[in-house]
Amino acid sequence: MIREYKARRGCPKLPELDQAFRDITRGVFRARPAPEKPQHLIPRQLPPADREVIGQDGVFTSLRQYIAQRRAEGKGAVILLTGMAGVGKSAVANHLCRSVEGDFPGGTLYASLNGFSGEGTSPAEPRQILSRFLSDLGMQTQATDAEALSGALRSRLATRSVVLLLDDAAQSGQVLPLLPGTGTSVVVITSRNQLPDLTTRKDVYVCRIEPLDCESAAEIVSAGMSGSTREKCRPSVDKLVELCGRLPLALSVLAKPVGRRSPQGVAELVARLSLEDKRLEELHVLGHERSVRLALDYSVEALSGEARTLLWQMAIHPGPSMDWSAAMDLGGATPGHAADRALDELIDANLVERAADRYLLHDLVRAHARHYVSPESDRPAERLREETVHRVLAHQLQNAVACDRVIDPQRSLPIDEPQGLRITDPVSEEEAMAYLDAEYEVCLQGIDLALRDDLPQYVWLLSMALVPYQWRRNRHADAERRLTEAEAASRDCASPADRAMVYRMLAGSQLRAGRIDLGLRNAEAAVRLGDGLSDRAGRLGLALSLHLRAVGHQRKGDLDTAEQGHRHALDLFEALGDRAGAAAALNGVGTVQYGRGGYDEALRTCGEALRIFELTDDANGRANVLTTLAKIHAIRYERDEALRLYERAIAIYQKLSYWPNEAKALSRYAHVLLSSGRVQEAVKAWERVAILREFMGDEEGVQQALAQLEGLR
């Protein structure tokens, strides 16, 4: 081998290599000098772990797998643990570094960067941290500026494998100079901010630390309880977990007082935390670093004035979430502020979470913003709050009405044109329903906000705008409750015609829920209000009220009164030239005839109603008549025609996303299929019924559908 080396390259130029060749040729082997003893101790600087980390097993597993994968590739790793204040980032980072530091012989370095330590503590300068790290690694340097020190650290870490924990970073500038260049070291960074400059410039594994699951959160709160006390206090502990938003810092603050209290004392603590304006005081430990209020104070202090103001406004929004347009319309209450830039800043600071294109505030962030944050504005805070509330409610109302006009174009609510608001423009009923699916809970919270702030116009209008959606989603109890509030709110601020409409929608909700007597009572109130109106809108409202009252009489079994009411409504609709109304009234007459057993007469009447409906764009009315015709054909044993009509009606209901009507039509359709011997098709129909009933939260209906399926299988 030596001869081959010399033939190719000649004698070695390095004296050490030449001497080695001579020794090997002569058979003389020099003993290797003993390795020098290290001149310093290997650093192991992790701070003590003051408590067990609970509920993060999945996070630890994924992070350790990532580190192992990078090491197997001969690469280092940079991991950013980010999340809101108090979510447990530092505890997770410490536990992670402890679990892997045995694989890194070069040591473990730790630095608190003091990014959010509050007044009196400045964020750590990279130059100071660099000097200490180099000294801890046994490297002496004459460099003093940050760039030279950063280069020296990279050189040292290129051949030394260490773990670096950089805790509580405020910005990327604190972190970037401390990162290795090459080598196999692992860096774990914690920050309340998402550090976008870091993640765009470096290969960083970002792990967002979320609040705990309910079971793990309850384990923290009840850690100091005895077994028997824990069982007695379980409902109270669950409520505390909810009130703390499963935030580890808040839970650990409560653990000690909870552990010392009787079940009654824990229940009293729940009562105090249930008061939003007192909650953060209960979670504040004076003179102690474990204070939720102080932790959030430090996060908010780092915000710009624009972001702080938008956070305050988002806390006024009733929640639980909002879409982009709602957030931007909030910013419109403060001219000159860039709402999009402020929202980005809040997301980067983990004070606002974006999930599935919606923006959310943690409950404790919302409470803190409402009671401890001041907006930056040239107007008094109370005036800005009033303007913000009006903007929130106007946005909700205008968008709900935009959907309502598509879902139920037959009616009109008295609202002004939108001014400077972002309004959705659904092109189909499916789009309108999907929008309200996302916004429904937010709108209910908006009604509550209008009630608290004594804004009756928004109470009744927003409640009314939601009714067609509620009917199609089987939310009749919600509709009845909100329309009862709307009826009271509309007394002093709505016209008689509009008040009649409120009574009519309330009656319709009650009839759909099977509350027939109440429905008839409110339908009668709508008729009384409409009787004194002479304009076209008033007469049309009266016709609708008469038709609805007739439906109530029919469900009560009073067919004569029902037919009289339907025919009275029919005359009014025809006089007003309202085809859809006339067709609905004819269908009402046909159902009365069907109820009396006059099937031939009912077929003719409902056939005429279908002919008229097909001249209109009222798809729901058309499906209703198709269902009536199908019932008539089914009872006449004309099953093929009944099935064809049901299929047409079901397709329309499905397209309209009208779950209750689709489920009813499918149930009747399945019975006709069974009587025709088409069992497998009946099974599919009942399966769809079960799914729809589950969507509607109708547990009894689900069980009935499952029972039908059980009998067929």
**Section 482-506 average pLDDT:** 96
Confidence at 224, pLDDT banded by 50, 70, 90? confident
The full set of domain ranges for the chain reads: 56-208, 214-302, 312-373, 407-639
Backbone CA torsion sign across 485, 489, 491, 497: negative
The rounded mean pLDDT for the chain is: 91
- Measured CA to CA, the distance from residue 202 to residue 179 in angstroms comes to 10
Confidence at 542, pLDDT banded by 50, 70, 90? very high
pLDDT of residue 336 exceeding 70: no
pLDDT of residue 38 exceeding 60: no
Beta strands in 620-672 (DSSP E): none
Identify whether the C-beta of residue 351 lies closer than 8 Å to the C-beta of residue 342.
Answer: no
pLDDT of residue 165 exceeding 90: yes
Tokens coding 529? 């209000």
Query: Which of these, 168, 143, 169, lies nearest to 155 by C-alpha position?
Result: 143
The model's pLDDT over 581-625, given as tens digits with 9 standing for 90+, comes to 999 999 999 999 999 999 999 999 999 999 999 999 999 999 999
**Section 243-269 average pLDDT:** 92
What is the pLDDT, as a whole number, of residue 52? Answer: 83
Q: Does domain 56-208 have CATH number 3.40.50.300?
A: yes
User: Following DSSP, what letter does each residue of 201-258 receive, concatenated?
Assistant: HS--EEEEPPPPPHHHHHHHHTTTS-HHHHHHTHHHHHHHHHHTTT-HHHHHHHHHHH
What is the pLDDT, as a whole number, of residue 287? Answer: 62
Confidence at 122, pLDDT banded by 50, 70, 90? confident
What angle, rounded to 10 degrees, do the helices at 2-9 and 15-26 form?
A: 140
What is the pLDDT, as a whole number, of residue 538? Answer: 93
Residue appearing with tokens 């709602």 = 326
416 residue type, one letter: D
| Percent of the chain predicted with pLDDT > 70 | 93
Is 56-208's fold the same as 407-639's? no
- Measured CA to CA, the distance from residue 333 to residue 199 in angstroms comes to 33
- Measured CA to CA, the distance from residue 320 to residue 356 in angstroms comes to 14
The model's pLDDT over 558-570, given as tens digits with 9 standing for 90+, comes to 999 999 999 999 9
Percent helix, strand, coil in the chain, to 5, is: 65, 5, 30
What is the pLDDT, as a whole number, of residue 14? Answer: 62
**Section 398-417 average pLDDT:** 91
The model's pLDDT over 652-695, given as tens digits with 9 standing for 90+, comes to 999 999 999 999 999 999 999 999 999 999 999 999 999 999 99
Q: Pairing state of beta strands 163-169 and 186-191?
A: parallel
Note the pTM of the prediction, 2 decimals. 0.84
What is the pLDDT, as a whole number, of residue 49? Answer: 82
The model's pLDDT over 430-479, given as tens digits with 9 standing for 90+, comes to 999 999 999 999 999 999 999 999 999 999 999 999 999 999 999 999 99
6: left (phi over 0), alpha (psi -120 to 50) or beta: alpha
- Measured CA to CA, the distance from residue 76 to residue 157 in angstroms comes to 10
Architecture in CATH for domain 407-639:
Alpha Horseshoe (1.25)
Number of other residues whose CB lies within 10 A of the CB of residue 57 = 10
